[in-house]
């Protein structure tokens, strides 16, 4: 049998890396892709399939191809597991919110400095949408 080029050997791991990293760099921006990361999980599952195909072909040749195929399959499986763990377990790791102030409570009289340096009272407006966000890092 001719020694055919095994594209799956590099395409699989490449797709796995893209499928993992693009969640944090691109697709997190759209809530429909962020809340449930279905697009990234599809990409990752496809990458596992391609890596599996590459590995199966490489096994017949042995040598470095077999090692590269095994490494690709391991990488794609690990990244799929990691994103699943992050989205469905780790990101639920918030403290209990039972003590947080709730509907009906008065807003604490607190003044903070705005990004323009203006002292701003939290309850200074008649109607306000107050968003606590975790900062830029």
Partner 1 sequence: MSELQGLQSRISDFEAQGIQLIAISPDSVEQNRQVAEWLDLDFPILSDSMLTATDAFRLRHADAAPGGGDLPRPATYIIESGRIVWRDLTDNWRVRPRPDQLLAAIAQLES
Chain contacts with partner 1 (rule: CB under 8 A): 28-31, 34-35, 87, 91-95, 97, 99-108, 110, 112-118, 120, 122-123, 125-137
Are the C-beta atoms of 73 and 31 separated by less than 8 Å? Answer: no
- Minimum separation from the CB atom of position 52 to partner 1 (A): 29
Q: Which is nearer to partner 1, 31 or 62 (CB)?
A: 31
Nearer to partner 1, 34 or 61 (CB): 34
> Which lies closer to partner 1 via its Cβ, residue 4 or residue 134?
134
Q: Which of 130, 137, 128, 28 is nearest to 87 (CA)?
A: 28
**131 vs 78, 119, 120, CA distance in Å?**
35, 17, 14
């Amino acid at each position: 049998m001719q020694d055919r080029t095994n594209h799956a050997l590099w395409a699989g791991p490449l797709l796995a890396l893209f499928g993992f990293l693009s969640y944090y760099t691109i697709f997190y921006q759209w809530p429909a892709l962020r809340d449930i990361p279905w697009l990234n999980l599809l990409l990752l599952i496809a990458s596992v399939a391609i890596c599996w195909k590459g590995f199966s072909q490489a096994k017949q040749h042995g040598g470095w191809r077999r090692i590269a195929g095994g490494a690709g399959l391991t990488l794609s499986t690990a990244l799929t597991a990691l994103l699943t763990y992050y989205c469905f377990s780790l990101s639920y790791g918030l403290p209990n919110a039972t003590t947080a102030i709730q509907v009906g409570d008065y807003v604490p009289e607190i003044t903070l400095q705005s990004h323009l340096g203006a002292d701003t009272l939290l309850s200074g407006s008649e109607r306000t949408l107050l968003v606590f966000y975790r900062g830029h890092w």
